[in-house]
Structure 1
Amino acid sequence: MNIDHEIDKLGLLIQKGEEILKYSYEYFSKEYSIIPDEIRVAISLYEKVIENIDGVFILLENASERCALSITRDLFENMLYLKFIMNDKYFKERALSYYYSYLKDNLSHIEMLLSNGDKGLRIRKYMKKERSDESYKELERRRESIKKIMKKKKFREIKSEWYRVRDGKMKEKNIKTYFPKWYETFEGSENIRKLAISCDFVAEYDMLYGAYSRQVHSTNAMEDLGINRLRTYHDPQEALFVTRSFGLVAIHYYIEFFLRELCEQFSNWVYENDFHKR
């Protein structure tokens, strides 16, 4: 395997992904005076996929394939999220559920930073900041802005569905509290493995996800016991193959759902550049 050649091909995939991203913005800007939030969510997730591939590319160029495998975990999740929301029946609802969850997480984080509880006080002490600092005043303004957005009419159905899933799970599991993940709503899945099953990626999950999680959480340090040079290629084939595979799949799903006029062109490009071969 010519590693440099395969890394260059990954660079080609990034370029193609960025071309499609640019085309998306131009296409939707012409289609809408203001791009709807659900489409913005899909574009953002697609952009995250391309960023993940780019991150792997940079690390592999520097012979850091173990670190690259950590990013492939994020890539796998973002690919699943993108596949999950691009659903003919529930596209808008699932995308807005993702957006609402993003807002909710941001609000919770800001509330923690602004709080006078142990966490807030400890963080401000660590950062050598006072509650009266301008940066915290900006956080207060951000908090009010998020609250205002979350009260919008478009999120009513999202909140109702969230409560429906929550109450159902509490009854099913006989527990007093439950916090649904955004991808549990609108006929979604309880966890990443079940999401992978529903998206037809269970083999990839079973084979790769656990290993990547160990890489992320640094529970695999003993694998490198011994004297090894840090920036020396060991076996980058796995990182190259899965990144390329997940990237191609994500781009294919994205254009098939939004930009069908590009499908034939993309298929030809895949074959012209030998991406159909392992």
Structure 2
Amino acid sequence: MGKIKVVRNIENVDLVGLLDTLASTIDSQVDFGTTVIEMIIDNPRDEFIDSTLIVLLRDYLELLDGISVLVRQGCSEAAIPIIRATFEYYLSILYILQEESYKRALSYQVGTLKAKSRELNKTNVKGGGRKFKRTLEKNSYKVTFKGTDNTVKLTALRKLLNSEPFKEVNIEWDRVQRGMTVPPNWYSLYNGPGNIQKLADRLGVVAEYELLYRNWSSKIHGTDSFRNLSNRGLKQIRMPESIQLVCTWAMTWTHKITIELITLYKPTERAAYFIFYLGIRDIYKNVTSRKPLILFKE
């Protein structure tokens, strides 16, 4: 292959300025998103719906904040796994907001409790701990595992799942899981979509699933690394080729869920949001246009 030099510096001053502008725009969306969390807290509708949306939005904003950091440094390829995960949070929030919000919020919470129960049982010396220990013994280097007695915690979780308001949803979870070798997705309960593709279809965003989410999987699973080898050699590490794509969807999804949540919890603040939006509109339109923000040599 010959001598190859891997470059990781962005020396173009104009490009550095553009990246900073894009990152700052996403930063402002993160900041506004935190005020949306405050709106939910200050205008409660239902404790289970509210709490579920708050934690989902909080994690969504954390991922968005991470995208901002990577965009500022020109690390668009490294941002792809994060923007892909952001899409899943986006779908979860939209699905809860779509209809039957109470049941769907409880389904999400039961899914969380079930996952916690599985994790505790896996390391429980009186449960799955022995099997887990045998699994770790197959590791290429020694891993010491003694396990813990999680009986009390597991009993408390079972009691919680069999109490109101979780009892009905827990029964539905067990019904859906019957005959399955893996746990169901929380959104599959009550005749919900069986997988994320069907979830995207149910929400009317299946094109985003097919054209973005599915294609981004190669970055997650490490199956398409040869795309970073071109006629000019190895692409530099901080190569912002996907920066416009990443920013387009980060900004778009955030814009959509912000409007949805404000409309539900404090519609009088829609005017304040649109004043905010006017401040980023020109940048957003440039990013989402078909005109490339950056031209790259082949």
TM-score, normalised relative to structure 2: 0.78
How far does the alpha carbon of each residue in 1:168-215 deviate from its partner, in whole angstroms, 9 at most, with x for none? xx6xxxxx7675321112342111111111111111111101122221
The equivalent of 1:221 in structure 2 is 225
For 1:153 and 1:40, the matched residues in 2 are separated by 16
% identity of equivalent residues: 21
For 2:35 and 2:129, the matched residues in 1 are separated by 47
Provide closer, same or farther for how the CA distance between residues 271 and 214 of structure 1 changes in structure 2, counting only shifts above 3 A: same
For 1:104 and 1:10, the matched residues in 2 are separated by 34
Contact 1:270 1:276 (C-alpha < 8 Å) held by counterparts: no
Provide closer, same or farther for how the CA distance between residues 248 and 120 of structure 1 changes in structure 2, counting only shifts above 3 A: farther
Task: Give 4+ residue runs of structure 1 displaced > 6 Å after superposition.
Answer: none
Give 1:13 shift.
0.7
The equivalent of 2:161 in structure 1 is 150
Of 272, 289, 295, 1:265 maps to 272
Of 236, 257, 260, 1:253 maps to 260
The equivalent of 2:85 in structure 1 is 74
Residues 177-256 of structure 1 aligned to structure 2 (within 5 Å):
179-225=183-229, 226-256=233-263
Contact 1:53 1:75 (C-alpha < 8 Å) held by counterparts: yes
Residue 194 of structure 2: SS of its match in structure 1?
coil
The equivalent of 1:18 in structure 2 is 34
Provide closer, same or farther for how the CA distance between residues 144 and 127 of structure 1 changes in structure 2, counting only shifts above 3 A: farther
For 2:98 and 2:253, the matched residues in 1 are separated by 19
Residue 231 of structure 1: SS of its match in structure 2?
coil
The equivalent of 1:98 in structure 2 is 108
For 2:228 and 2:268, the matched residues in 1 are separated by 48
For 2:184 and 2:146, the matched residues in 1 are separated by 35
Give 1:127 shift.
4.7
> Which ranges in structure 2 are unaligned for 5 or more consecutive residues?
1-14, 289-298
Number of residue pairs matched?
260
Residue 113 of structure 2: SS of its match in structure 1?
helix
Q: Which has the larger radius of gyration?
A: 2
Contact 2:49 2:102 (C-alpha < 8 Å) held by counterparts: yes
Deviates more, 1:251-260 or 1:40-49: 251-260
The equivalent of 1:59 in structure 2 is 70
Give 1:248 shift.
1.2
Give 1:122 shift.
4.3
> Which ranges in structure 1 are unaligned for 5 or more consecutive residues?
171-175
Q: What is the RMSD computed on CA atoms of the aligned residues?
A: 2.6
For 1:235 and 1:87, the matched residues in 2 are separated by 31
- For 2:114, the aligned partner's letter is K
Give 1:38 shift.
2.9
Contact 2:52 2:109 (C-alpha < 8 Å) held by counterparts: yes
Contact 1:72 1:212 (C-alpha < 8 Å) held by counterparts: no
Provide closer, same or farther for how the CA distance between residues 12 and 147 of structure 1 changes in structure 2, counting only shifts above 3 A: same
TM-score, normalised relative to structure 1: 0.83
Contact 2:75 2:240 (C-alpha < 8 Å) held by counterparts: yes
